[in-house]
Structure formats: C-alpha cells, structure tokens
Amino acid sequence: MNADFRSDTLTQATPAMRAAMAAADVGDDVYGEDPTVNELQERIAALTGKESALFCTSGTQSNLSAVLSHGQRGDEYLIGENYHILLNEVSGASALGGMSPWPIKVDETGGIDPSDVISAIKEPDQHHPVTNLLCLENTVNGFVQSVELISELAKTAQESGLSVHLDGARLFNAAVALDVPVSSFTKSVDTVSLCLSKGLGAPVGSVLAGSQETINKAFRIRKMLGGGTRQAGHLAAAGLYALDHHVDRLAEDHHRAEQIAKGLSGIAGLEVNQASNMLWVTPLPELHAGLAKCLEEKNVKVIPWNPTMRIVTHLDIDDSHVDYLVQVFQDFFSDL
C-alpha cells in the first residue's frame, strides 16, 4: 500500500469535480466576463460577509495581494512568528512591496496575546516604520484559533488604526472543528484569504475577500503579479464543486487524525500531538532516523522533519491508510 500523509495539498480532483470543470461556462476573466469565476467570487463574498472577492491562482498570491493592498513601501506589518506569510511565502511583501514584517511571539497553539500586538505597534516617530497591518492565521499548523481570539485581536488592532488580514488557508477546517460558519471568523477582519486546494480538494486556487475598495486594489496587484487569467472558470468550477461537496466532509479528516493519534498514543518513546487534520509526532532523538527510514521503506509518506514529523489527513486518505500507518508505527516500535 502507498499512503501519502505529507499534506492536504496532494488531493486529486474527483471524477465529479473534473466533470464540473470540463462543463464550466467560461469567459475572459481579465474583462470580468467569466461567469463561473464571478459566481465563485460572489459565493465567497457571501460566505465571509464581505462586499467583494477575488479569485487568485494560489494562497501565496492571495495573501500577497492582500498585504500589499493594505500598505505601501516602508510600512510595517505585525505577524505571528511562525505564520505562513512570514516563513513560507518567499518574503514577497518585502521583496515586491517594500513592507517589513515584525514577528510577534505565539503560544504552543499559534495564538497571539492581544497585549503583544499593542506592544509591537510603533509610536509615531521619524525613525520608525508606520505599523498599519496585523496578519493573523487560522488554523496554525492545524491548531484552531477560536472565534473569540480572532475577534479580540482584530478589535485590538483596529482600535489602534491597523487593518487586519486573516490567512484562512485552512479556515474551513477551523469552522468545521468548532461547528460555526466561516463568517464567525471573518466578520471582524478586513480581508481574508480562503484556500480551495488544501482540504477542499480543488487543484488550484484561493479567494481573497474584503471591501470593494480593497478588492479593487488587490485586482490591480494581482495583475502586477502575473495573475490575470482568461477562461479561469474551468478552475473556479472546481472551487464551486468543493464548496458544495467537500466542506462538511472535513470532519472525516479530523476524525481520521484522531484515530491515528489514538493508535500511536500508547507507544513508548513517541510523543503525539493532534490538531484538526494534522498530527505532530516526535520520536526519541535516537529513533528518528530509523523511523523515517522505516516509513519510507513501507511507502508511508510523512514530512520527516527533525525532531518532529508531520502527518496530515485529507480527501484521499481513507480508513485503510490510517490502519496501515498505525500498524507500521506499532511494528517499528515493537521490534526495538
């Protein structure tokens, strides 16, 4: 058996999703004439309670378009020290927009203390950059940030004159985990990016939502970034299908992650931490290399970071994959 737990970005479009993509009604999106793109944007705007939305080719493009829409060269944005925009998006806001990040410490679940936001805002002074944006994230490495925390952080920032962007690459996971609508998280922030190609299983795309004014700015920035597309409705159709069929089923991914955690929890010499559809597995240091080699030989793919490995459940993982992974782990440790 081959079992690929590296990421929820690995999912393949289902036959029904591919059929929807092939049958999509399309036009030229640069002219705003692709009806399927327009429908997707309207759907996301409604889901998030925002005035408008913009279909982007990736989460990185969506986040970068948002950050650059909120600031200008020389400005500063605040962000959690381990958030994706800071660590995994090639410093785009700095390289292309001249904006500098100010990392804020986070707790063990990725949460930010509102008091640390206040402390990080620079006072008006000719020596300091202008702090004008707070970037949040949900989920953070699988850990769900509560509605109350997102709302409190947004209020704290906005009362100090900052805009707030939420990187919601896995926000649907957070909403399903807490059994609340996505709008519960998004109503308090100025912009939000929602990814369609992670847990929802679409092959391409994220959507940025916000005010009409901000989305108008983001539209121009997306063009500058090379994101003007033509008959993109074939891609947007996958997103629409995912919204209709793949949101509620995220609970299955969470349940399978819980089952893996239960299966591994009794193994001596292995620390297991589960959050939504992710597991963080830390073997004893002297066992890490051997475990990683064993998983590779048994065709179980994980992210074998040292000291902590990452395991992610997703649309293409079923119960048989879960059972196989647990068995491989148990066999390895029983043979020691």
Non-local (6+) Cβ contacts of 202 within 8 A are: 13, 17, 196, 235, 238, 239, 241, 242
Q: What is the pTM of this model?
A: 0.97
Domains of the chain: 15-245 (3.40.640.10), 249-334 (3.90.1150.10)
pLDDT digits (tens, 9 = 90+) for 187-207: 999 999 999 999 999 999 999
pLDDT at 85: 98
pLDDT at 295: 98
pLDDT digits (tens, 9 = 90+) for 32-71: 999 999 999 999 999 999 999 999 999 999 999 999 999 9
pLDDT at 82: 98
Nearest to 69 by CA among 223, 289, 237: 223
Which regions in the chain score pLDDT beneath 70? none
pLDDT at 336: 80
Nearest to 178 by CA among 134, 147, 140, 217: 147
pLDDT at 107: 98
pLDDT at 53: 98
